[in-house]
């Protein structure tokens, strides 16, 4: 079994639609520049209220990605 080392970062995903979409937005955007992402953990969920209605979802994620060798890039 290959040894793995991970780096952790925090991201905040935002969506006007849902918590799930906010998560997907954060992961999709981060995947454009980060390689080797393997997992995420939801740390916090919050949102904005406008005129008595939920107007935005914000989700803070901890994301783990592998520190890769040159051969894996």
Nearby residues of 63 by Cβ (< 8 Å), 6 or more positions away:
8, 9, 10, 11, 26, 27, 30, 34, 37, 39, 40
Q: Closest by alpha carbon to 14, among 29, 32, 31? A: 29
The model's confidence at residue 63, banded by pLDDT at 50, 70 and 90, is very high
Q: Closest by alpha carbon to 12, among 54, 58, 63? A: 58
Question: Averaged over 42-63, what is the pLDDT?
Answer: 98
The model's pTM is: 0.85
Q: How far apart are alpha carbons 52 and 30 in whole angstroms? A: 32
Structure confidence at residue 7 (pLDDT): 94
């Amino acid at each position: 079994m290959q040894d793995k080392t991970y780096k952790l970062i925090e991201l905040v995903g935002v969506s006007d639609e849902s918590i799930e979409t906010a998560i997907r937005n954060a992961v999709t955007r981060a995947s454009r520049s980060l390689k080797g992402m393997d997992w995420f953990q939801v740390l916090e969920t919050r949102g904005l209220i406008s005129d008595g209605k939920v107007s935005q979802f914000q989700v803070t994620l901890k994301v783990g990605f592998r520190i890769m060798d040159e051969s894996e890039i």
